[in-house]
Amino acid sequence: MSYVPLSGLSLRDIEYVVAVDDLRNFSRAAERCGVSQAGLSEQVRKLEQLLNVTLFERSRRHVAPTPEGERLIALGRDVLASARNLLEVARAHTGPLDGLLHIGVIPTLGPYYIPGLLPRLRQKYPQLGLRLNENTTPNLVQALRQGDLDVAFMAPTAATETLEHAPLFQEPFLAVFPKDHELATKKNLSIADLARPDLLLLEDGHCLRDQALSLCPSNFRSQDQRLATSLEMLWHMIGAGEGFSLIPRLALNNRQEFDGLVTVRELSESEARRTISLVWRPSDPRATSFRELANFLRATTPDGCLPLPKTKIPT
């Protein structure tokens, strides 16, 4: 095979192409990359000339990768992940948890867990800079695999099986009803009682939706359920009397504005909870440091949540 110089190929150009593929829009891709649209378009065009391949099919309303472009963009993602790994290996020699750490967190956890966590992290790791990204589980998993995130806080699902994760604590679910709902005063409330048409759910993509449905009987049909765009909107829908839902325990803190509007009931079944874990790529050279971080976080359980066994996570 003849030698092909790489001088015309830059990681930045590959980042531009990946951004266009992610967003299917040159303008938004340019905004994400911090360059002008004209500049990004020109660099993509030059890369296509270098590769002698049309990467994208373009029209005024449509941008999509060509079949050959799809294959090459996938390779480009691998190149970017390897480049980030190179930086991580170098960074590991100057202090594994010094510098900037990109942290992802699911929306049904972030606003209720992160504020109490930040002071502890600052005290334990004073040289650590943090960049937070709140997103749904599928997007966080993709960002971890691509190297855009270092670690993430989430409830593990089937999608995280190829990632490494360390359990931190268990968070119970509580049933929250409008004040005068018939189930609000039911003497023996069970999970089976919740499989009703007025059970409110989050939109697709939120793991809390899947967790709520997994607790319902297998014959429960969810096609006609009312959907909320966020956990905060779910609270307002319950307070307005539109229905009830399962709410993670940490999201119940500081809800005085709903006094007199809702009734909160505990569920006795042990499965009415989720495990919150710290998740990262198995290939990350800082894996030992992430396990140490998980042990540090695991030592303090948030109020209302359940601690895991005191056994330390092997580092």
- Could you read off the pLDDT of 225-245 as tens digits, one per residue? 778 888 999 999 999 999 999
For residues 287-310, average pLDDT: 90
List own/partner pairs for 212-220 with CB under 8 A and 24 or more apart. 212/173, 212/245, 212/246, 215/173, 215/191, 215/246, 215/269, 215/271, 215/272, 216/191, 216/192, 217/192, 220/195
Cα(243)–Cα(235) distance, integer angstroms: 10
Q: In this structure, are residues 85 and 285 in contact, taking their beta carbons and an 8 Å threshold? A: yes
Q: Is 67 helix (H, G, I), strand (E, B) or coil?
A: helix
Work out the angle between the directed axes of helices 110-124 and 287-298 (0-180°, nearest 10). 110
For residues 254-272, average pLDDT: 87
pLDDT on residue 118: 92
For residues 279-295, average pLDDT: 90
Neighbours of 120 (CB within 10 A): 13
The residue ranges of every structural domain in the chain are: 6-92, 99-169+276-303, 172-266
Q: In this structure, are residues 304 and 250 in contact, taking their beta carbons and an 8 Å threshold? A: yes
For the segment 97-115, what is each residue's pLDDT rounded down to a tens digit? Answer: 777 899 999 999 999 999 9
Domain 99-169+276-303: assigned CATH number = 3.40.190.10
**6-92 against 99-169+276-303: fold identical:** no
CATH class of 172-266: alpha beta
% of residues, the chain, pLDDT over 70: 90
DSSP 199: B
Residue 310: CA atoms inside 13 Å, Cβ hemisphere, count?
Answer: 0
pLDDT on residue 1: 45
CA-atom Rg of the chain in angstroms: 23
For the segment 71-101, what is each residue's pLDDT rounded down to a tens digit? Answer: 999 999 988 888 887 776 666 555 557 778 9
pTM greater than 0.75 (yes/no): no
Domain 6-92: assigned CATH number = 1.10.10.10
